[in-house]
A and B are shown apart, each in its own frame.
Chain A
Amino acid sequence: MRIVSRSRKREVSNQTNSPIHPAIRRAACGGRRLPPYIKGLLRLAARCPRRSYPHRTPPPTHPSARPLPSVASCLLRELHRPRPLAMAEEVVRELRASFAAERTRPAEWRAAQLRALVKMVDEKEADISAALHEDLAKPHMESYLHEISLVKASCQFAIKGLNSWMKPEKIPAAITTFPSSAQIVAEPLGVVLIISAWNYPFILSIDPVIGAIAAGNAVVLKPSEIAPATSKMLAKLLPEYVDSSCIKVVEGGVPETTDLLEQRWDKIFYTGNGTVGRIVMAAAAKHLTPVALELGGKCPVVVDSNVDLHVTAKRIAVGKWGCNNGQACIAPDYIITTKSFAPQLVDSLKRVLTRFYGEDPLQSADLSRIVNSKHFQRLTDLIEEKKVADKIVYGGQTDEKRLKIAPTVLLDVPRDTALMTAEIFGPLLPIVTVEKIEECFDLINSKTKPLAAYLFTKNKKLQEDFVANISTGGMLINDIALHLANPYIPFGGVGESGMGSYHGKFGFDCFSHKKGVLIRGFGGEATARYPPYTVEKQKILRGLINGSFIALILALLGFPREKR
């Protein structure tokens, strides 16, 4: 759904006078009655492309502006679909019953499910790896390194932490309510929906499920239909290992997802792109359901000239092409470096790439392929654009039959091209040059907030400025993508890169409600609280609220005395 075909773009730009896309209006008037929130969405979809953003400079490049027509077309198709479906409803009803029966609450149940996931990963590593290879030609090492082992580590981390996460947190009692004790109790939200993405179809499915289970929720997982082998594998394997009355996999595409979104959930966790993220959030609004959206963005890499060049090039290369051939939400999207340093960096990248993937990278078994022909087309369009094609300094080979694109480095691509405005999500790496490295701040801040930002430098001052001035989901200095594997830091976006975070305890928190519990005694009855109000009462109350001991003692002694 990330792609907007050229013809559609034109269609939209032609109808600037009408607030609503003609096809949509036809459907809305001629067809059946639309649910009101879909109507709202359609109106919104038609309106968005022309909205301008006075505060951020380039209006036409704003992500909300681009791919909406394709959403509208998805919705359209959706509206004309015959609906026999009560399946989503059925699934939710069953899970609600399991949740209401409190099956998911005990710590033992949660730990058992997590242990079952570890067992699944141990026993079915070959199946998982095979499914990933079928969907993305993902090399085994990558599957192991980024998906299988991380899922396992994540499960084990949760199993270890579970008891301490579940323990109520004691809060120091306040003088205002003396005598009292207070605590914060984590309770499960209920029945949650997790919609995952195709690029890391295994870990992006299971990792949120781990958080949801640890927090004691019943879960529906909707894997991406764009990675069908993994989706099928999950649907088959999960019920073999975990409690299928509380954890279910629902397979399907847009229609099934739409049906799921119409149900009432207690949380929706979505990984994917901003366009669908908007639809998910609007649908969630209907039931006042909180959402977590894990989206992407153009993740910048800033390379200073004082770095260990070879190590830097290796880390960038493995972070870009060694992560699903660039199809990762935290993969580097573009590099910013100084004009004088760029040639050295390019040379080093070339050397490293040749060492990693050989003279003919299209033949390398260590590179993932592009997920499908739609995305292949999108990526080749990006580099075939006239202003871009001659900027390629390395790579550029494509193989349409096998959906392979070689690692491609581009230098000084014009900043108004699609390559430099849209999220690339593929093996193309443009390098932007600046006079002084400090210019990177303005450049990055002129775009929407990315999911990750990377900096290579030994300059401590630059590191500090980078942390202080760049707003991004996460930040890693002198390496790429590794912060993902640290369960002690939250993983999630900000602004256009999403909302809500997970991993480790943050995943548990994401699916928990923190309930404040205050226990007061019957002692310490301050009459000053109650009407009829008098001036003396007011004085004591002032002291009490501000935590004054004297006021407290007076209040406890029953001052001011009441006339009975």
Chain B
Amino acid sequence: MGTEAAGELGATVRELREAYEGGRTRSVAWRQAQLRGLLRLLREEEAAAFQALHRDLGKHYAEAYRDEVGVLIKSTNGALQQLGKWMAPERVWVPLIAWPATAQVVPEPLGVVLVFSCWNVPLGLSLEPLIGAIAAGNAVALKPSELSPCTAKFLADNIGKYMDASAVKVVQGGPEVGEQLMEHRWDKVLFTGSPRIARAVMAAASRHLTPVALELGGKCPCIFDGDAMASARDVQVSVNRIIAGKWSSCAGQACIAIDYVLVEERFAPVLIKVLKSTLKRFFPEADHMARIVNERHFKRLSRLLKDKDVAPSVLHGGAMDANNLYIEPTILLNPPLDSAIMTEEIFGPLLPIITVKKIEDSIAFVKAMPKPLAVYAFTRDAALRRRIVDETSSGSVTFNDAVVQYAIDGLPFGGVGQSGFGQYHGKYSFDMFSHKKAVMKRGYLVELSLRYPPWDESKVTLMRYLYRFNYFAFVLSFLGLRR
């Protein structure tokens, strides 16, 4: 990267810092105005957004609305409604020992924050954090992924039009721009993407002691408990939702998409049968599913599939169209567990089905893998649900559905262990970009001399009573009635 471009970046960062230090981002009015601007952007530029998403990923506009635009409108509305409540200082208790005093927790903006978003949900993963960062009163730099260039351009073109252009900026560019950005000091960095880059981001952030939140992925398992289905309808509904959580979530290119299915041996044939028939019904034409983002990922996925140990396990699909970067919905049965498809995150329209003897074995299977971003399970068995929640660890758990937890504001969204850390969505987004400042106020009324040196044993004794909250003995002792 040339020094000129680096200088330009420096100027952008400086402008953001000035905008923040000028203080206007702190006011409620500013925050509301930005959120309303975002809402207008989403409404007025909807068609352009759909088009950008279609160009980048071949996303059908219905999917684009369901997973990105629609969810964003809902989140922005939610933030606008709740903003006052989020911003209000929270009154908290004070132990009697400090009486008379009051204490509160005051949320304050962190400052200038940086959001790295990802290409698979390029609008959602850019704007969802932006909502929180603005609601919390920060100046924001947004770096969309260069792998979804049309959406990046869409954001760069429109954000300035609808929002305060000097406090919310879009920086376009590739890895070298990302690296340059990390040279600067930020007050928080949110990164969505792969663990490899996340490590570099966190290491760079340590230089400025910048707190980071990392939203990574992982192999999200889906446990299908055929035994605990009440009827054929249950199976059909489950399969519908599995398909929605796999192929109709950006063709499986989503961090919370289902990665593989665990099922008891005896139910595998039923599941596969219903999966096949439903796939046929859901995707009569190719354009109802997104395409693979680029050639590199297409090659990666085809390598996964063409592995000589894996190829024989393909049960359904497997067709590939390199020209249109399209891979047919593909089902595999029991590919070897040490093959790349079962050790790496798939991030594409390939669904391995792994059979287990008993459905309870699936818990051990999930536990043996790194912690995923989400665990899904289809079951009516409450005991199994309890066990899954208690024994496995993951960013979130969803029963009898997939991916929809993303749309629920009340639930924190974020990983644990290898799937990252830091949570957002709804109030959690606001908290992610706020510092909770503890504020305590005391009066001058009561002054206990025993707080002050020179110290002797009698003061220690008095203190003991105080800390034991034995106020009666304290008063007696204070008055000299008790030793």
Contacts and interface: CB of A to CB of B under 8 A. Distances in A.
Interface in B66-116: 66, 70-71, 73-74, 77, 92-95, 97-98, 101, 103-106, 108, 110-111
Contact of B405 (A286, A514, A516): A516
Contact of A530 (B187, B248, B417, B444): B248
Contact of A542 (B65, B237, B404, B413): B65
Interface stretch (A171-179, A337-345, A377-385, A421-429): A171-179
B442 A479 contact: yes
Interface string B175-200: 00000000001010000000100111
B460 A171 contact: no
Interface in A322-336: 322
Contacts of A189: 416
Given A477-B440, A518-B399, A546-B73, A190 B460 contact: no
Interface stretch (B202-210, B334-342, B346-354): B202-210
B288 A478 contact: no
Contacts of B451: 318, 322
Contact of A514 (B111, B200, B423): B423
Given A152-B467, A356-B454, A546-B77, A482 B440 contact: yes
Contacts of B436: 490, 501
Nearest to B73: A546
B264 interface: no
Interface in A288-302: 288, 290, 293, 295
Interface string B159-181: 00000000000000000000000
A254 interface: no
B207 A356 contact: no
B148 interface: no
A contacts with B: majority SS: mixed
Nearest to B211: A499
A494 B416 contact: no
Interface stretch (B117-125, B299-307, B310-318, B388-396): B388-396
Interface stretch (B28-36, B128-136, B268-276, B277-285): B277-285
Interface in A248-278: 266, 274, 277-278
Residue among A366, A485, A488 having the largest count of chain B Cβ atoms under 10 Å: A488
Residue among B92, B94, B98, B211 having the largest count of chain A Cβ atoms under 10 Å: B211
B359 interface: no
B55 interface: no
A257 B92 CA distance: 37
B412 interface: yes
A531 B444 contact: no
Residue among B60, B288, B442 having the largest count of chain A Cβ atoms under 10 Å: B442
Nearest to B376: A518
B442 A477 contact: yes
Given A55-B14, A478-B443, A522-B234, A184 B412 contact: yes
A560 interface: no
B401 interface: yes
B74 A546 contact: yes
Contacts of B394: 515
Nearest to B70: A545
Residue among A54, A105, A266, A357 having the largest count of chain B Cβ atoms under 10 Å: A54
Contact of A182 (B214, B408, B418): B408
A313 B444 CA distance: 12
B contacts with A: majority SS: mixed
B351 to A, nearest CB: 16
Q: How large is the interface on B (under 10, 10 to 19, 20 to 34, 35 or more residues)?
A: 35 or more
Interface string A475-501: 111110011011111110011101111
Given A281-B202, A474-B439, A537-B62, A518 B209 contact: no
A117 B214 CA distance: 35
B18 to A, nearest CB: 7
B95 A486 contact: yes
A516 B202 CA distance: 25
B440 A483 contact: yes
B412 A545 contact: no
A118 B248 CA distance: 55
Nearest to A466: B439
Contacts of A530: 240, 243-244, 248, 282
A548 B383 CA distance: 34
A295 to B, nearest CB: 8
Interface in B253-300: 282-285, 288-289
Contacts of A357: 453-454
A278 B410 contact: no
A307 B443 CA distance: 10
A280 B104 CA distance: 31
Interface stretch (A78-86, A141-149, A218-226): A141-149
Interface string A354-395: 001110000010100000000000000000000000000000
A501 B214 CA distance: 18
B92 A488 contact: yes
B478 interface: no
Interface in A177-215: 177, 180, 182, 184-185, 187, 189-190
A153 interface: yes
B477 interface: no
B98 A488 contact: no
B437 A282 contact: no
Given A288-B198, A318-B452, A40 B203 contact: yes
Contacts of A145: 463
Interface of A: 37, 40, 44, 48, 53-55, 64, 102, 105, 139-142, 144-145, 149, 152-153, 171-172, 174, 176-177, 180, 182, 184-185, 187, 189-190, 266, 274, 277-279, 281-282, 284-286, 288, 290, 293, 295, 307-308, 311, 314, 317-318, 322, 356-358, 364, 366, 458, 463, 467, 471-479, 482-483, 485-491, 494-496, 498-501, 513-522, 525, 529-533, 537-538, 541-542, 545-547
12 contacts: A55-B21, A176-B404, A182-B410, A184-B411, A281-B202, A308-B444, A467-B106, A473-B438, A485-B98, A486-B95, A520-B398, A532-B284
Closest 8 CB pairs of A and B: A533-B62, A516-B411, A281-B206, A285-B202, A489-B438, A141-B455, A171-B410, A516-B396
